[in-house]
Chain A
Amino acid sequence: MPAMRLTGYADKFSVHPGEPISFFVNCDGPRTYRAEIVELVNGDTNPRGPGFIERHVPSDIEGEYPGRPQVIHSGSYGWVADCPQLDLQSFTLQCWIWPTAPKTHERYWKHGPQAIIGQWSRGRGYGLFIDVDGHLELRVDDQVVTAPMPLRDRAWHFVAASFDAATGRAVLHHEPQVVYALDPVAEPVEAQLRPGLTHAAAPFVIAGYPAEAMPGDRQHPSGFRIAGNYNGKIDGPRLCNRALSRLEIEMMKAGADRGLTERTHAGPTNALARCLVASWDFGQGIDTLIGHDRGPYRLDLTLVNCPTRAMTGHNWRGENFDWKHAKDEYGAIHFHDDDVDDARWEVDFTWTVPEGTRSRAYAVKLTTAEGDEDYLPFWVVAKLGTTSAKIGVMIPTISYLAYANEHMATNGAGAELIMYRVPIMQDQNMFLAEHREYGSSQYDVHTDGSGVSFSSRLRPILNMRPKYDTFVAQAPWQYNADLHLIYWLDRMGYEYEVFTDEDVTYEGLARLQRYNVVLTGSHPEHNSGPQIDALHDYTQAGGRLMYLGGDGWYWVQTYHPAYDHLGRGVITELRRCESGIRPWFADPGEYYHQSTGELGGMWRFRGRMLHAVAGAGMAAQGFDVGTYYTRTPDSTNPRIAWAFEGIGPDEKLGNFGLCGGGAAGLEVDIVDTMLGSPPHTLTVATSAGRHTEAYLLVGEYYGTSQPGIDGTQHPRVRSDLAYHETPNGGACFAFSSIAYCGALPWNNGDNNISKLTKNVLDRFMQDGPLPPPPPESIKPRGRADYDPNAMIP
C-alpha cells in the first residue's frame, strides 16, 4: 500500500478576493510536486453519480515546486526559558499528577519514559519522570532514583523530590491520594547520589523534556526538540532552591500565597518564601496559553499544542462545576502526547486571490510525476460591502473540524455496531492510524484514552478531501458530501456565493443579510453561539433558510481566543457533556469550555432547542441504507403547495441517492413542537415507517434503556420535510436528512428531490418579502395542540 507522501494545508479556510492565502506542503519522497488551483464541483467518484468534476483555474502559483518532508511535532507541553534563578544546586520539585498512561504497550507509538517536570536534558540537570515501567523517577544529572511501585493510572498522586547538592542526599516521595486495602505502603525513597548538580542550560519544561537543541523556529519555540511527552494531568507544581523536609514540602503545597493581610512574602511562610523559585497556578489564565507562575520571578510557562485546561484538580470537591467560580479547584492541565494546535510548517507558496474571483469551493491540487495526489480545500468568500448573489451557501467548517482526521474505524471498534457493517478504510485512514501526530477529531479519544476537545484547522485534514468516502456512510460525508450540493447548484445554473462558519461567527448578521436565502450543508451539527444567534436574527428579519441536512445545531462549539492572532476560527472546542450522541464522555466537573467559560454539551441543554433553528431537529440515526419520502396532507396546504408543483401526490421522493441509496438517511430530523418547532410548522413529507432497524432513536428522546427504538418499530424514527414562515416575509424549509443532498445529483440532477429543492429555492431567493400566507392561517396555536392520540379511535 502506498503511503501518503503528499499532504498539506492552507493557513485559511475562507479567503477574500485581493487577499493572500498560504499553503504548506509535505512532499516526503518525490523530488518535486506540481501545484495548481482548481474549482471543485463534484468530489464523489461513485460511478452512479456524475463523477468527479474539477475546473482548472489559471493562477500565478501554478507550477513545479521542490518537494521536502515536513513533519508535525505533536504533544503538548509548557516551557520557560533558562534564567539564573533556574540554575540550581539543591532543589525540591513537587506537584500532583494524574497520569493517564503511565505504562504503555511496547508497540505504543510513543512508548518510553515520560517527563513530568524539570530542567533535565542530555544527562544534565534535574527532573521528575515516569519510567518505562510506570514508576516515578527522579533524575539528577545521569543518576536515577526510582520509586518501588508503579503509579496507578487515572488516580491522583502527590509526588516530590528533594536533593541536597552539598551532601548528595536525595529523597523521592510518591504518595497515592487513593489507597486501597491491599496496596503496599508507598514509603519515600532515600538515595545517596554524587554531591553537586550540573546546569542543563536548557528550558525548564513540564510534560516533556528538552532533548536536542534546535533552531528557535515555530516548530521548536523553546529552541529544543521536546521529547518524553507526558499523558495526564499536572496540578500545582512548585520549585524550591534547597532540599525541603517532608514537613516543609507539605507546607509548600500552599504555594505562593499573597493573600495574607500583610502581603509580605511570596511563600506560604517567610522562611519558605526565601527558597521559593516558582509556584505555578494553572487555575489562572485558563483561556490563555500561559501557565501562570505566582512566585517571585514570574516564570510563566508558554503552553504549546493546546493542552486541555479547565480540568478538575486534585482538590476538586464535586461542589463547583464551573471553573470560573472555583479557579483554585481547577489547577490541573491535562497534557496529551498527540495534542496538536498547529502543524507549524514552512510556507511553500502563497496565492493572492485576484479581485473578481468568484466565491466558490476551491482547492490547491498537488500532484507528483509518481502518481501522488492531494487537494487542499479552501473557499473564496466575498468581502462584506460588495455586491452579492441572492444565494449564500454556509459551509459548515466547524463540523468539518469536529470530524477532522477521525480515527473511529481503528480506535472505536464498536463503531461497527452502529454502522451495521464492517468499516471500509481508505489510504487516509491507514495513514492517520500510523501518524497520530496529525491529531484527532472530536469524535476520537486521545492516545491516552481521554476525549478530544480541540480540533485545529492548521494541519492537514485528510478526510476533508474530494474523492474520499467515510466508513460511517460508505459514501461521502461532510466536505465531500457537501460538494453534492455544490454540483447541483452548478448544474442548475444558479448564481451563488459560499461562506464559512468562521465568517458568520465573526461577522454575525452582516454576513447572512447579504443573501435572500441561505443554504446549509448536509450536516451542520457543530455550531458557535454567535452563529445560531445570527441565523435567528436573519430568519426573524425576513431571511430564508434552507436547512439541507440532518442533525444540525446540536453541539456547542467555541473558538479558542488564544489563537485569534493566527486568523479566524483556528481551533474549536467541544465538551461532550451529559447528553447527546457521544463517542466519549467529559469527566464530571469538566463541562465548561476553557476557551470562553461557556457550558458545553448540546445546545438543547443550554435552552437553545435545535428544532427552533430551522423547524426540525435530530431524532434518529442509522448508517446502513436510506429510504424515501412521501407527501402528507400538509403538502397541499396553500402555504406550501407551490413547493410540489410538478410532483405527483403519490410519488416516492428520493428513492435513490449517492449517500445510502435514499434521500432520507444517515441522521434524520423531525418536527417536534414540544422541542422548538414553531406550532405553525407544516410537515409536508415524511419517511416514517420505512427506515431499517439500523436506525435508532437518539438517547435524548428517552430516559430509560428501552426496546422498540428502531426504524421498523418506532414512529419517531423518521425524517420530516418541514416548512414554516418567519416574520417579515421570511421562511425556513428543513430537508431533515444528511443523505438528502446525496440525492440531488442523481440522474444528473433530473429527479424529484432536485425538483422539490428547486421549487423551494426559486421561491426563497426572490427579492423582497415572500408573499403573505392566506389570512385564515393566522390563528393562535399551542405547542401541545397536536394530539399524538388523534388517530386512535
Chain B
Amino acid sequence: MIPIPRPGTPERQRLIDTHWRCIQSMKGVAGCAILECATPGDTTDVGGGIYDDPLLRQVLFRMRAQPPAGKLVVICTKPDREWRIGRLSGIRGVPPSFVDERVFEDEQEVQHAIFLMRLDELPESDGMPEHFHEGWKRGAYNWT
C-alpha cells in the first residue's frame, strides 16, 4: 500500500506542483486528465503528470477509491461559470452538502482544490492493517 505523503515533505510538494501544472494545461479541454497538454487546452500531445510520477498516480487512485460517505465531489452551481465543493452523504436519498463557501470559476481548478483537501484528510496509513475495522468484512461493487 502506498503511504499518503505527509505534510511538509518534498514528495508531497512535488505531487501538488505536478498536479497543478496538469490542471492548468487542461483548461479549455472538455474533459480532464492529470497529464500536461503540450499546448494548453489541446489534447494532441499529452504527457508528464501521472506518466512521469508514479507516486502521483497511485495517490490519486487511493483517493478515488475511497468509499462514498464523506467523499468530496464537484458541484456545478452555474453551468460553465461556477463550481463548488461538496461532500457525499453515503446515504441513499440524502444529497451532497457543500463543504465551504468557496466558489471556483474554472472547472479544472476545483479538481486541484479537492486534491489538496484529500491530501490533508487521508491518513498516511489509510488502508493498512492498523486501519482494519469491521466494515472490511463486507464486500461491495465499486459502483454501488
Interface residues of A (CB under 8 A from B): 1, 45-48, 105, 107-110, 408-418, 420-427, 430-431, 433-434, 436, 443, 445, 447, 449, 467, 469, 473-475, 583-585, 623-628, 652, 655-662, 665, 692-694, 712, 742
Contacts and interface: CB of A to CB of B under 8 A. Distances in A.
B31 A413 contact: no
B61 to A, nearest CB: 7
Given A445-B144, A585-B141, A660 B30 contact: yes
B92 A625 contact: no
Contact of A625 (B33, B67, B76): B33
Contacts of A418: 142
Interface residues of B, number: 52
A496 B80 CA distance: 31
Closest 4 CB pairs of A and B: A109-B93, A414-B142, A412-B143, A413-B68
Mostly, the B contact residues are loop
Contacts of A628: 44
Contact of A436 (B89, B93, B111, B144): B93
A744 to B, nearest CB: 13
Given A474-B32, A661-B29, A662-B43, A108 B91 contact: yes
B10 to A, nearest CB: 25
Contacts, number: 180
A289 to B, nearest CB: 26
Contact of B33 (A413, A421, A434): A421
B31 A473 contact: yes
A423 B65 contact: no
Nearest to A105: B91
Contacts of A426: 75-76, 79
A155 to B, nearest CB: 14
Interface in B19-66: 26, 28-35, 41-44, 46, 50-51, 57, 61, 64-66
A434 B79 CA distance: 20
A1 B72 contact: no
B144 A417 contact: no
B32 A421 contact: yes
Nearest to B43: A661
A45 B80 contact: yes
A430 B93 CA distance: 10
A375 to B, nearest CB: 13
Contacts of A108: 91-93
A615 B22 CA distance: 37
A623 B31 contact: yes
A764 to B, nearest CB: 28
Interface of B: 26, 28-35, 41-44, 46, 50-51, 57, 61, 64-68, 71-77, 79-80, 83, 86, 88-96, 98, 107, 110-111, 114, 141-144
Contacts of B30: 46, 48, 473-475, 657-661, 742
B74 A449 contact: no
A425 B43 contact: no
Contacts of A105: 91
A415 B80 contact: no
A410 B142 contact: no
B92 A436 contact: yes
A417 B33 CA distance: 12
Given A108-B91, A413-B71, A422-B110, 18 more contacts: A48-B30, A107-B94, A109-B94, A410-B73, A413-B66, A414-B65, A414-B143, A417-B65, A421-B111, A422-B111, A430-B96, A431-B95, A445-B144, A475-B30, A659-B30, A660-B31, A692-B46, A693-B51
Given A105-B91, A424-B107, A625-B32, A467 B144 contact: no
Contacts of B72: 422
A433 B96 contact: yes
Contact of B67 (A413, A583, A624): A413
B20 to A, nearest CB: 14
A166 to B, nearest CB: 45
A427 B61 CA distance: 27
A413 B141 contact: no
Contact of B61 (A417, A421, A627): A417
A417 B142 contact: yes
Given A414-B65, A474-B30, A623-B31, A424 B83 contact: yes
Nearest to B32: A421
Given A421-B111, A585-B141, A1 B32 contact: no
